[in-house]
Amino acid sequence: MTFFQELRRRNVFRVGIAYVLAAWVLLQGVDFVLDLIEAPGWILRVFALAAAVGLPVVLIFSWVFEMTPEGLKRESQIDRSRSITPVTGRKLDRVIIVFLALAVAVLLTDRLVNHTGEHTVESSQAVQEGPGGELPASQAALRSVAVLPFAALSSGPDDEYFADGLTEEILNSLAQLPELLVTARTSAFHFKGQDLPVQQIAATLGVAHIVEGSVRRAGERLRVTAQLIRAADGFHLWSENYDSSEEDAIAVQEEIAEKIALALDVVLDDAKREAMGRAGLRDVEAFVELQKGLEWYERAHGDADQLGALRQANRHLEAVIARVPDYPSAYELHSDLYIHLLLNQATGQALDAPGLEEVAGAPERIAADLQAAAAHARTPQERNGTDFDLAYLSSDWRGMPARIERFAAEQGCSGPTWVPNIAVSFGYAAQLNGRFTEYRNCDPLRTTAWMNEARSLMWSGDPDGALAIARQGMEVAPGDWLVMQLANALMAKGEFETAEHEISIGFQDRFNMLTWRMMAAAARGDREAAAARFAEYVADPGAGPFTTVSYHAWTGNIEEANRLAAAMDAHPFAGPALSTVLIWCACGAPWDLAATPNFAKLVDDAGFSWPPPSPIRFPLKTW
């Protein structure tokens, strides 16, 4: 008998197969339990090593020993004529079948739970909106998609930031593809932690597809599940789960983005893959720090301690820059603290103790940040937007009309942050209406996206359109910014009672309510009511020259308006400060241009016309 035949006779092969199957099923169970208790990754590796070491031990044991009716005996002690190895072999066959069935069940369960099927590539069909909440074809383009925040299924200190960072990396990669309309982060992250039907989310965001997923971290191990869902019928166009180490997180993110693009019929060439790769941070620690910075940044723009929150944001943004010095968004966000310091100082608002020290170097910090952002811009459009902001904030307004027109001609969801503050009030509103609509479609749950569109429509002479957009925006993204535009549009139409009603019920912030009540009284020509409301306004701790200039313009006090504007004009940040007063006054020329020679030079450098249009008529204002 040959050695191979002897191995078969002694059931060594059967024992080996049974052992491998049993060990694999056991390891799957151990993996599941370790995930639940968030155990470190090395524990599973110890189990796997023990299983591997056990295999040769079991094979040797099955060669040396044999099962008999009396129990285990050494094979050399057994009379082969009385051997029961054929019976033992049949029993082992049944054991193998049982464990094989268990292995198949485990694989199928994992496949179903994680929606891991074939990578089906299908073209989705646009659906008209109906009683069932189907998607409007005008907005839910065939290749429109929102990437929802991936759920963090583990509870480590940074696991939620990690999941958010991975989500944003995927979103940013997809946003580089011109064939896709990708919902911006603010709107997509609005649904974080909300258990809503996919179709409802898609209808709210105006997209045809939703990407959702989950992330589980256990020590160095990482499990990511992702799926692309067609919102019209809930069909999974693509899904997959990835088991890897944290070191492979970037590769996983890139593969997910590419698979989603392919499932949406986007043809990827080397140039598109390169653009997708450049879009993100490609650094796990950096994108965790970025999420922490964004959390503070968003808090700063709804927080009473704005400067304090921006300082916290900058600590994390500086960590991002230290790890990924060519990431432009980090520099843009970092500059915001210094912009607010200068705006506050120029408009007469008190600075806190750290601010008094920081403001001295603020112009240089803004310039350094925005120059770095422009230098590292990933696309020409990003570079143009940063160049615009830098020119506006550094009071270099020469060639500004060309910059505005270039922005108006561009397409996409990125652009200058500060373009509304200067372009809308200096006669470019009608040219920009389409761009602001595009912005709103990209980020439909951002209140300021609706605000900018409504304000642009009002300044271009369409208060009815502004009112419609403001009301529509209030249904999906309510906030004080939109109440302001709603009230302004009503005042522009002469509907003062309705405006007063909206002001009284709409504002969350008392200071904003006081300001717009004062504005409404002046717009209807009631000097006495405006004065009474101004007295109430100046008693508020937040009162300052910023709104006071507008009040004196609204009520026809040119001397006081000129005096306050001249004080702002003496500040190095006069251009951004006074142009901000101009657009919020909505009253044409709030002061004599001769009273602000520095601002007058900027207007002349840009070639802008003066006075600007007045979208709201203030009868007490006589110039």
Which tops the pLDDT comparison, 542 or 163? 163
- Mean pLDDT of the region 307-314: 95
Note the maximum CA span of the chain.
Answer: 122
Q: Give the tens place of pLDDT for each residue, 494-505.
A: 999 999 999 999
Q: Give the tens place of pLDDT for each residue, 278-290.
A: 888 989 999 999 9
Q: Which residue has the tokens 């140039």?
A: 271
* Under 8 Å between Cβ of 397 and 404: no
**What token pair was written down for 316?**
């994390």
pLDDT confidence of residue 70: 72
Helix, strand, coil: what percent of the chain each, to 5? 65, 10, 30
Quick check: 580 pLDDT over 70? yes
H helix intervals, 359-462: 362-375, 380-393, 400-409, 419, 429-442, 447-459
Q: Give the tens place of pLDDT for each residue, 375-386.
A: 999 889 999 999
Helix (H) or strand (E) holding 242: strand 235-245
pLDDT confidence of residue 112: 58
Q: Within its chain, how far is the Cα of 318 from the centroid?
A: 19
Could you say which DSSP state residue 524 is in?
T
Q: Which phi and psi angles does 322 have, rounded to 5°?
A: -65, -35
CATH of domain 144-280: 3.40.50.10070
pLDDT confidence of residue 35: 66
377-623, CATH topology level: 1.25.40
**CB-count burial class (<10 Å; 0-12, 13-18, 19+) for 70:** exposed
Q: Give the tens place of pLDDT for each residue, 216-264.
A: 988 888 999 999 999 998 999 999 989 988 888 999 999 999 999 999 9
Q: What is the mean pLDDT of the chain?
A: 89
Closest CA to 212 of 119, 114, 142, 133: 114
Residues 595, 568: Cα–Cα separation, whole Å = 10
Quick check: 175 pLDDT over 50? yes
Residues 184, 171: Cα–Cα separation, whole Å = 8
**CB-count burial class (<10 Å; 0-12, 13-18, 19+) for 555:** buried
* Under 8 Å between Cβ of 262 and 236: no
Quick check: 513 pLDDT over 90? yes
Which tops the pLDDT comparison, 155 or 255? 255
* Under 8 Å between Cβ of 619 and 584: no
Lowest mean pLDDT among 30-39, 64-73, 179-188, 467-476: 30-39
Q: What is the pTM of this model?
A: 0.76
Lowest mean pLDDT among 119-123, 211-215, 382-386: 119-123
* Under 8 Å between Cβ of 544 and 609: no
Quick check: 140 pLDDT over 50? no
Quick check: 134 pLDDT over 60? no
Tell me the pairing of strands 181-182 and 144-147. parallel
pLDDT confidence of residue 36: 64
Q: How many of the other CB atoms lie within 10 Å of CB of 233?
A: 12
* Under 8 Å between Cβ of 40 and 219: yes
Q: Give the tens place of pLDDT for each residue, 43-96.
A: 777 888 898 999 899 888 888 888 777 777 787 777 776 678 788 878 888 888
